């Protein structure tokens, strides 16, 4: 399977999971009158999910390239 198609499938999967975790039934679980470090639990949940979502998208879109600092070692010349 080509890498671009696999990448698109992963992005669609992340989108579907993002829609599910930011939808009403799960949001209602965190809609409590409780503060953590002075911030409502719902706001922390949304911020955490959004941060994880962005991180997952960044991991999928990251290009796999070799490090520019690693140079291949030259092959030793054979002396005959």
Q: What total number of domains does the chain contain?
A: 1
Does residue 40 lie within any of the structural domains?
yes
SS3 for 72?
Answer: coil
What is the span of the domain harbouring residue 56?
Answer: 3-61
Q: Is residue 75 part of a domain?
A: no
pLDDT in tens, 7-46: 999 999 999 999 999 999 999 999 989 999 999 999 999 9
Task: Please choose, from the candidates 62, 42, 49, the residue with its C-alpha nearest in 3D space to the C-alpha of residue 14.
Answer: 49
Between the CA of residue 47 and those of 8, 16, 68, what are the distances in Å? 25, 18, 34
Inside any domain, residue 15: yes
Residue 3: pLDDT band (50, 70, 90) is confident
Q: Output the pTM of the full model.
A: 0.72
Residue 76 within any structural domain of the chain: no
The answer to whether residue 78 is domain-embedded is no
């Amino acid at each position: 399977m080509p890498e671009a198609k696999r990448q698109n499938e992963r992005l669609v999967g992340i989108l579907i999971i993002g829609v599910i975790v930011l939808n009403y039934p799960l949001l209602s679980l965190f809609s409590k009158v409780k503060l953590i470090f002075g911030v409502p639990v719902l706001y922390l949940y949304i911020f955490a999910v959004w941060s994880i979502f962005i991180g997952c998208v960044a991991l999928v879109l990251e290009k796999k390239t070799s490090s520019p600092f690693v140079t291949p070692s030259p092959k030793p010349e054979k002396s005959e």
